[in-house]
Amino acid sequence: MSQDLRGEQTERRSRRVARGLVIVNTGDGKGKTTAALGVIFRAWGRDFDIRVFQFIKNTGARFGEHRAAERLGIPIESLGDGFTWLSKDLDRSAALAQEQWRRSREAILRGEEDIIVLDEFTYAMHYGWVPVQEVVDTLKRRPESLHVIITGRYAPQELIDCADLVTEMRLIKHPYDDKGIKAQRGIEF
C-alpha cells in the first residue's frame, strides 16, 4: 500500500477516534465475548468497519453472533476445533490458533478496519501457542486509531500491562452450576 493511501486512511479514521484502545475482557465470569459483541453492536451503529477473529470455537460455527454478524455484513472469521481442557489433539489446536494469529496479526498491522476483535485469544497465549511478546509488539506497531479487543480467561500480565482498558468478569452466581439449567440459545451462544 502506498504511503499516500495509508495517510489518507489514517486521516479518515482519525476523524472518528482520537486514539485506538487495546481492550481486554478477562476473568472466570460470563460476558467477555458478549461485551465484545456489544461494542460491535454500538460501533456498527456508528458505521465503523469491524472484523472479528474467533479462536478456539469450531470453524464454521453458526451461533447467534454469527447469524447476526452475517446479516449486518460484519465478518466473523472462526478458526478452531472447539478446544477444551479435555481435547486430545493439542497439536492441532495449537496449529489452528497459530494460523489464526497469523491472519489477525496481518489485519492488525494493515489496519484497514476501525475495530478488530480477537475472541478467546488469551488461551492461545496462556497455553504457549502464541508468544505474548509477539502479540504485545504487534499491538504497539498497529495504526494509532485502531481499537483491538481481546477476550478470554487467563489474560497474561504482559498483555494487561500493554492494554488501556481491562475488565475482569467475575462470576457471582451461575444457574448451570447451581440449578442444573442448560446454556440458553440466543443468550449465551
For its own copies, the binding residues (CB under 8 A) are 16-19, 21, 23-27, 29-31, 33-46, 48, 63-71, 114-115, 147, 160, 163-175, 179, 181-182, 184-189
Q: Which three cell numbers stand for residue 63?
A: 451461533
| Min separation Cβ 174 and its own copies, Å | 6
* Rounded least distance, CB 106 to its own copies, Å: 23
Minimum CB distance to its own copies smaller for 33 or for 93: 33
Of 176, 150, 152, the closest CA to residue 163 belongs to 150
Strand partners, 24: 150, 166
For its own copies, which is the closer residue by CB, 101 or 120? 120
Spatial neighbors of 175 by CB under 8 A, at least 6 apart, are: 181
Q: Which helix (H) or strand (E) holds 160?
A: helix 157-162
For residue 83, the minimal CB distance to its own copies (Å) is 21
Whole-number minimum distance, CB 36 to its own copies, in Å? Answer: 7
Among 99, 136, 146, 123, residue whose Cα is nearest residue 26: 123
Please say which residue, 31 or 94, places its beta carbon nearer to its own copies: 31
Other beta carbons within 10 angstroms of residue 82's beta carbon come to 12
Min dist. Cβ of residue 99 to its own copies (A): 26
Element (H, E) at 147: strand 147-151
Terminal-residue alpha carbon distance, the chain: 38
Question: 94 or 158: whose CB is closer to its own copies?
Answer: 158
